[in-house]
Amino acid sequence: MTNKTRTCTVATSAPAFTTVFFDVGNTLLTTAEEEGLVFCEEAARCGVHVGPDDVMREVPRMYQRYDELYSDDDSFWSDDERAVRIWLDMYSYLCELLGVEESKHAQIAQCVHRRYFTPESWRPFDDVRETLETLKAHGVRMGLISNWDSTLEGIINGIGLGHYFEVVVASTVVQLHKPMPEIFELALKGMGVAAEKCLHVGDHVVADVQGARSVGITPVLIDRNGTLRAAAEPGTCVMTSLVELEDVVVHGWHGDAPARS
């Protein structure tokens, strides 16, 4: 079997960007198991049996509801209690879509939500460790800025990625959320770096791209499924894999392609 692991070499000159911030969900991490299976397992513990195919058929409607709520008022990501309530409401709504007896909704929602508190429920995308090692070899400093609750740092450490990041900014902990400029400014202050030397990589056009740009950080939109590019402003750096990040970090970004000297 061919070994496809890339060998990291230390750059002989300073990279164009010296610091990279990352979003977490759908950027660095995804769920370790299919959401439908997790829901079925937890529902079964509550005495309710549903099929994973039925669950996955309704999951897009659940996320559509989430997107509507997020568009109306994203401030729940600044408050731990409200962030928890949103997800409990989402899982209760999924129960409703599946025709689960109403008296079971709250119990199932609690069980499913708790499942995602642990590192075992998450995994890095296949390109993550390779990318982090490559950036580290270039001397690039890294941090996290995420709309996430107080479990974030424990999850990142539990997965074995914590040593890469100098700051971990979780929205409910600092009571600020993306795309607020203040959360990006807090991360910049924590790292002691200037915005113009930083990238921020994330999967949300508003929270990540517009938020980073509002303080002078160059945004990178990670579009793993090829569905986000059309929504990005012209000139936005869009990638389908983090493997592409090294070129931009080293050579810079001038609106439509990596800048090369």
Cβ proximity of 95 and 78 under 8 Å: no
Does residue 155 carry a pLDDT above 70?
yes
Does residue 171 carry a pLDDT above 80?
yes
Mean pLDDT of the chain: 92
SS (H, E, C) the chain: CCCCCCCCCCCCCCCCCCEEEECCECCCEEECCCHHHHHHHHHHHCCCCCCHHHHHHHHHHHHHHHHHHHHHCHHHHHCHHHHHHHHHHHHHHHHHHCCCCHHHHHHHHHHHHHHCCCHHHEEECCCHHHHHHHHHHCCCEEEEEECCCCCHHHHHHHHCCHHHCCEEEEHHHHCCCCCCHHHHHHHHHHHCCCHHHEEEEECCHHHHHHHHHCCCCEEEEECCCCCCHHHCCCCCEEECCHHHHHHHHHHCECCCCECCC
Q: Which domains does the chain have, with CATH numbers?
A: 19-28+125-251 (3.40.50.1000), 35-120 (1.10.150)
Does residue 244 carry a pLDDT above 70?
yes
Stronger pLDDT, 258 or 121, i.e. the higher one: 121
The structure's pTM equals 0.90
The C-alpha angle 167, 85, 107, rounded to 5 degrees, equals 120
Residue 6: per-residue pLDDT = 43
What are 6-50's pLDDT values in tens digits?
Answer: 444 444 578 999 999 999 999 999 999 999 999 999 999 999 999
Paired tokens of 17: 């960007």
Banded pLDDT at 255 (limits 50, 70, 90) = confident
